Amino acid sequence: MNVLVIGANGQIGKRLVHQLKESNHGPVAMVRKEEQVDQFKENGIDTVLGDLEDDFTHAFEDIDAVVFSAGSGGHTPKSQTKVIDRDGAIKAIDEAEKAGRKRFIMVSALKANRDSETWSEPMEHYYDAKAKADERLRNSDLDYTVLMPGRLTNEEGIGKVELKERIESIDNKTITRDDVATVIVELLDAKQSYKKSLELLQGSTPIKEAISNLN
């Protein structure tokens, strides 16, 4: 399966394309700048230049699945969060539909699907942008999975998670970016994850087992 990774230069995206390269999938890293290309090509990873604020229709050629892992980052203006996390994601969904690319995994955020009263004021714009993009995906005809990881860390992955449509206890819990990437790789072919929104935290269940337990 050829997988377009939108946001390949991000912290999850970089991990993901390398894990896809080691799996039976073929990653295509979408990056914004020419100078970002070499780091992927040096590792035998195909790349395509594309900007979420411009036309990136060409990126969907010869693609079987799409992973949207782009994000504006925590230090960017609120307006840019809308441009990338909301509008850019919605454009990617639109383009996937036009191109007939059915499998789409959205990397969202824990709490994006919960009551807005749970959103802290500094993060409200971020969760709102994610929620609107997620809702557009849920209303599409794509074979989607909305993946909502908790607070991300750069620790080494442990391969064990909690993956459910709703996790009851989420306070002060985290998930490594390594494990988020591994979950995405395993979800690509997991039909039991189609048309689902899944919350993700570090846990005690091996990733393959956590995915097989979805129903």
Annotated catalytic residue 126:
yes
Read off the pLDDT band of 24 (50, 70, 90): confident
CATH superfamily membership of 2-212? NAD(P)-binding Rossmann-like Domain (3.40.50.720)
* Residue 209 structure tokens: 């087992």
pLDDT of residue 75: 64
Cβ–Cβ under 8 Å, residues 56 and 50 = yes
Residues 6+ apart with CB under 8 A from 99: 57, 60, 61, 63
Where exactly are the structural domains of the chain?
A: 2-212
**Which tens digit of pLDDT belongs to each residue from 131-159?**
999 999 999 999 999 999 999 999 999 99
Question: In whole numbers, what is the pLDDT of the chain averaged over residues?
Answer: 94
Predicted TM-score (pTM) of this structure: 0.95
Cβ–Cβ under 8 Å, residues 194 and 201 = no
Q: Which of 126, 127, 144, 194 is catalytic?
A: 126
* Alpha-carbon gap, residue 31 to 10, rounded angstroms: 9
Read off the pLDDT band of 77 (50, 70, 90): confident
